[in-house]
Amino acid sequence: MAHLATVRPDGRPHVVPVTFAVAQDGRLLTAVDAKPKKSQNLQRLRNIGAQPAVSLLVDAYDEDWSRLWWIRVDGEAIVLDDPATRTSLLPPLIAKYAAYADSAPAGPLIVITPRTWTCWAS
């Protein structure tokens, strides 16, 4: 499970669950896909446009607490809308998620350049 945290213009956090993949160059990718949304004018995209600082938290929960872990990546994000650029970066997401093989994400792509990685495991 992954959650993307962005900063609203008023400074409050905004956190949403996302799919993600790691590109060959180490950047993190998440896309606006076909899952139901009220609009394509998403708060996370507006937030990144105003303030590129983001965190991506990936974690695994298990009833056996000895198997718990999480990784948080803090970095800067950009939103890519250009179809050619987006298409060239989609392969890691398509390879990771079977649903994307049939229907690649058609919305904007968020590209995160990591600055710090923090992790924990029991």
Q: What span, in angstroms and rounded, lies between the C-alpha atoms of 87 and 53?
A: 24
Cα–Cα dist 32/11, whole Å: 23
Instruction: Look at residue 44 in the predicted model and tell me its pLDDT.
Output: 95
pLDDT band with cut points at 50, 70 and 90 for residue 16: very high
Higher pLDDT, 78 or 36: 78
Whether 109 and 19 have beta carbons less than 8 Å apart is answered as no
Separation of alpha carbons 69 and 79, rounded Å: 29
**Fold classified for 2-116:** Pnp Oxidase; Chain A (2.30.110)
Q: What confidence tier does 37 reach under pLDDT thresholds 50, 70, 90?
A: low
Q: What is the pLDDT of residue 96?
A: 95
Residue-range domain boundaries for the chain: 2-116
Query: pLDDT (tens digit, 9 = 90+) per residue, 67-98?
Result: 999 999 999 999 999 988 888 999 999 999 99
The H or E element that residue 3 is part of is strand 2-7
Question: Rounded to whole angstroms, how far apart are CA atoms 33 and 14?
Answer: 19
The pTM of this model reads: 0.91
